[in-house]
C-alpha cells in the first residue's frame, strides 16, 4: 500500500519532499530524479532552489521528464523542455546535458519513444519519480486506457486534458493533440514513486488512484502495483479518501527510522 501523507498546504508538501530529495542527492550526488511538469511540483522545485542557494549541489544529478507535447516549435515557452529548463535546470543548477525530456519534434517521432527508453536504461533507471495527477486520472500523459505494461510512446490527449492545459496557452486550439509520454510500465520501473496533489479538483482522482480498483481506466491506480509509493496531499485533495483517519494515525505513529 502506498504511504499517504496529508499536509496542511502545498508549501508544506514542498518542504517535506524537498527535504527528502536534498538528503538523497547528498547521499548519492548522481541521483536520477524523475520530474513532472504542471503546477503541482512547483512548490517542490521552489523549495529545492532555496536549498541549492544554501549549498545543496545538483550539478551531478540526472533528470528525466515524464512527457512532452508533440509538434510545438523549438523553444516554445510551454514545451515541457522549456518548462523544465525554467523551473528546474536553471534554478537548481542541474547540468543541462544531464536533463532529459522526450523529443517531441515531428521529424523522427516514430522512434522518439525507443530513444527515450534507451536513455533511461543507460542511466541506470530513475531513483525517485515525482508525479502529479490529471483530472482524468492520468500520470505523465497516460490517458485512460493506457496499458500498465506501456513504455514511452506517442499518445493522443483527451479533450478534457487539452481543456485543462489550455490555461498555459493562448487558446484551446494552440494545445497540441499529441504527446510523448513515459508509459505506465516505464513509470513503475522507478525505484520510488512520489505522487503529489493539491486542491479539491484532485480529490476524486486521488481517491480513485489510491483506493479505487486497479484499472487502466484510471491510470494513476497503477501506483497500487508498486512496492514503494509515497502520496503527499493537502486536506482538500485528501477529502475523498475513505481511510484518511488511518493514514493520519499511521503518520502519528510512524517509526522514526522509516523515513520516506
Ligand atoms: C499535465 C502533465 C502531468 C501533470 C498533470 C497535472 O497534463 N502531463 O504530468 O501531472 O497534467 O497538472 P497540474 O499539476 O498542473 O494539475
Q: What is the pLDDT of residues 56-78, one digit of tens each?
A: 999 999 999 999 999 999 999 99
Strands 178-181 and 67-69, sheet pairing:
antiparallel
CA-based torsion, 168, 93, 11, 40: positive or negative: positive
Tell me the pLDDT tens digit for each residue of 139-158.
999 999 999 999 999 999 99
Tell me the pLDDT tens digit for each residue of 109-134.
999 999 999 999 999 999 999 999 99
The set of cell numbers assigned to 142 is 497516460
pLDDT at 246 over 80: yes
Do 220 and 209 meet the contact criterion of CB atoms below 8 Å apart? yes
Which of 42, 84, 134, when mutated, tests ligand 1's pocket best, judged by the most ligand atoms within 8 Å of its CB? 134
Ligand 1 first shell, C-beta below 6 A: 36-40, 66-67, 132-134, 140-141, 161, 165
Instruction: Tell me the pLDDT of the chain averaged across its residues.
Output: 97
Supply angle C-alpha 213, 130, 21, rounded to 5: 135
Q: Whose CA is nearest to atom 12 of ligand 1?
A: 38
- Is the overall model pTM greater than 0.95, yes or no? yes
**Percent share of the chain, pLDDT over 90:** 96
pLDDT at 182 over 80: yes
Q: What is the pLDDT of residue 1?
A: 61
Q: What is the pLDDT of residue 238?
A: 98
Amino acid at each position: 500500500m502506498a504511504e499517504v501523507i496529508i499536509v496542511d498546504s502545498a508549501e508544506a508538501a514542498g518542504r517535506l519532499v524537498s527535504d527528502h530529495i536534498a538528503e538523497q542527492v547528498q547521499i548519492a550526488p548522481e541521483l536520477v530524479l524523475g520530474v513532472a511538469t504542471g503546477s503541482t511540483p512547483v512548490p517542490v522545485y521552489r523549495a529545492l532552489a532555496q536549498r541549492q542557494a544554501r549549498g545543496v549541489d545538483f550539478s551531478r544529478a540526472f533528470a528525466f521528464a515524464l512527457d512532452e507535447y508533440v509538434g510545438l516549435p523549438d523553444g516554445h515557452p510551454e514545451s515541457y523542455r522549456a518548462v523544465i529548463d525554467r523551473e528546474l535546470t536553471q534554478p537548481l543548477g542541474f547540468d543541462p546535458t544531464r536533463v532529459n525530456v522526450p523529443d517531441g519534434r515531428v521529424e523522427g517521432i516514430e522512434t522518439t519513444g525507443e530513444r527515450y527508453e534507451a536513455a533511461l536504461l543507460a542511466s541506470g533507471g530513475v531513483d525517485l519519480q515525482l508525479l502529479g495527477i490529471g483530472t482524468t486520472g492520468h500520470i505523465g500523459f497516460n490517458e485512460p486506457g493506457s496499458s500498465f505494461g506501456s513504455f514511452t510512446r506517442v499518445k493522443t490527449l483527451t479533450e478534457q486534458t487539452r481543456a485543462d492545459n489550455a490555461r498555459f496557452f493562448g487558446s484551446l486550439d494552440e494545445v497540441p493533440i499529441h504527446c510523448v509520454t513515459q508509459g505506465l510500465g516505464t513509470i513503475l520501473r522507478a525505484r520510488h514513486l512520489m505522487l503529489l496533489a493539491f486542491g479539491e479538483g484532485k480529490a476524486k482522482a486521488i481517491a480513485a488512484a489510491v483506493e479505487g480498483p486497479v484499472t487502466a481506466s484510471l491510470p494513476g491506480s497503477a501506483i497500487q502495483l508498486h512496492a514503494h509509493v509515497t502520496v503527499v496531499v493537502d486536506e482538500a485533495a485528501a477529502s475523498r479518501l475513505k481511510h484518511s483517519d488511518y493514514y493520519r494515525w499511521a503518520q502519528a505513529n510512524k517509526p522514526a527510522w522509516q523515513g520516506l
